Amino acid sequence: MDQIRIGKFIAETRKSRSLTQGQLANTLSISDKTVSKWECGKGLPEVSLMLPLCEALGITVNDLLSGERVSPKEYQKKAEENMMDLVKENSENRKRMALSVISGVNAVIACCALIALAAYVALPMAVRILLIVLSILVMASGITAAIMLDIKAGYFECPHCKALFVPGMSEYVAGVHTFTRRRLTCPQCGKTGMCAHRISR
């Protein structure tokens, strides 16, 4: 999925129909910020919005996902490519999720090992301090990597309007959470709630 290309295509098609971002957003009952985000290539429309969006723009979902008007001759081929892309995206999200857990666990192990070394092996004080600083750095980078991978793995689902979205880093970190849910504000309806983590759309 080429988000930049799809974004440009949405903008072009919208302008060719003399619609403003606000007018298009109104038709879909979403904020114009969401439309602007798509057009800048920062995120794809939620699946539930794809059909209404295509209807408003007079295009097909296949056109939308290809980022261009697909000719009847190429239609089947493009549809298959888009389908494979969606499947691939889901399996990449699964890999990211596993990687996120692994890097988090690695960071904890490395950190404990360094602290144990600093505490139990006879070393000059300066080396001990260095080891402790190093262990904190290892921990921090491991946790950052785990968080970034986790944010990228899939989507969060709004409990109110069922919209799927990817939260920003700061909101994600600040959100109260359990293993599968996190308290976030939905960009679609603006309500805050415990959002479930979903790997695929």
**Measured distance CA(147)–CA(144) in Å, rounded:** 5
CB of 33 to Zn ion, least distance (A): 14
Under rule CB under 5 A, residue 160 binds Zn ion: yes
CB of 159 to Zn ion, least distance (A): 8
Tokens read off for 192: 């805050």
Q: Which stretch binds Zn ion (CB under 5 A): 26-34, 52-60, 87-95, 187-195?
A: 187-195
Residue of 107, 188, 195, 197 that binds Zn ion (CB under 5 A): 188
Under rule CB under 5 A, residue 93 binds Zn ion: no
Rounded to 5°, the CA angle 19-43-76 comes to 80
CB of 180 to Zn ion, least distance (A): 18
CB 64 within 8 A of CB 9: yes
Under rule CB under 5 A, residue 186 binds Zn ion: yes
Q: Return the exposure string of 33-53: e unless at least 16 CB atoms fall within 10 Å of the residue's CB, then b.
A: ebbebbbebeebbbeebbeeb
Q: Write the CA distances from 195 to 34, 153, 161, integer angstroms.
A: 19, 14, 11
Q: How many Cα atoms occupy the beta-carbon half-sphere of 8 within 13 Å?
A: 7
**Measured distance CA(46)–CA(131) in Å, rounded:** 47
Under rule CB under 5 A, residue 11 binds Zn ion: no
Tokens read off for 69: 């008007």
Size of the site for Zn ion (CB under 5 A): 7
CB of 57 to Zn ion, least distance (A): 23
In one-letter notation, the amino acid at residue 50 is: M
With tokens 């959002």, the residue in question is 195
Q: Which stretch binds Zn ion (CB under 5 A): 18-26, 38-46, 124-132, 151-159?
A: 151-159
Under rule CB under 5 A, residue 189 binds Zn ion: yes
- 12 or 171, CB closer to Zn ion? 171
Residue of 97, 110, 161, 196 that binds Zn ion (CB under 5 A): 161
Under rule CB under 5 A, residue 195 binds Zn ion: no
Residues at the site binding Zn ion, with contacts judged by CB under 5 A? 158, 160-161, 163, 186, 188-189
